[in-house]
Chains A and B, each alone.
Chain A
Amino acid sequence: MEKEIYRRPAAGTHPANLSEAYKSTPGRAPRRPAVALPHTLSEITGPLLAEERLDALENDLTRQRMGPPLGERILVHGRVLDEDGKPVPKALVEIWQCNAAGRYHHPGDQHDAPLDPNFYGGGRARADEEGRYHFITIKPGAYPWKNHYNAWRPAHIHFSLFGPSFATRLITQMYFPNDPLLPFDPIYNSVPDGARHRLQAAFDLDSTRPEWALAYRFDIVLRGRNATPME
Chain B
Amino acid sequence: MSKGLTPSQTIGPFYVGTLVKAYRQDLAPPNVAGEHVEIVLSLHDADGMVVPDGVFEIWQANSHGRYNHPDDRRNLPLDPGFEGFGRASTWLDGSSQFSTIKPGRVPWPQGGLQAPHINVSIFARGLLNRVATRLYFEGDPANAEDPVLKMIEPARRSTLLAQRDANGTWRLPIHLGGPQETVFFDC
Interface residues of A (CB under 8 A from B): 1-2, 8-10, 13-17, 19, 22, 24-32, 34-49, 51-52, 58, 81-85, 94-96, 98, 104-106, 108-109, 120-124, 158, 160, 164-167, 169-173, 187-188, 190-192, 195-196, 198-199, 219-223, 230
Contact = CB atoms under 8 A, between A and B. Distances in A.
Given A45-B69, A47-B85, A104-B14, A37 B8 contact: no
Given A15-B8, A171-B9, A172-B8, A25 B128 contact: yes
Contacts, number: 246
Interface string B93-118: 00000000000001111100010010
A27 B45 contact: yes
A196 B12 CA distance: 18
B187 A37 contact: yes
25 contacts: A8-B186, A10-B5, A14-B128, A14-B129, A24-B10, A27-B45, A28-B51, A28-B125, A29-B127, A30-B184, A31-B181, A35-B183, A35-B185, A40-B114, A96-B19, A104-B14, A105-B17, A120-B16, A122-B21, A158-B12, A160-B19, A165-B69, A173-B10, A195-B4, A221-B3
A42 B106 contact: yes
Contact of A108 (B5, B7, B53, B84): B53
Contacts of B123: 171
Contacts of B109: 2, 38-40, 230
B71 to A, nearest CB: 5
Interface residues of B, number: 71
A160 B18 CA distance: 9
A181 B122 CA distance: 28
B177 A28 contact: yes
Given A165-B71, A169-B121, A35 B152 contact: yes
A95 B4 contact: no
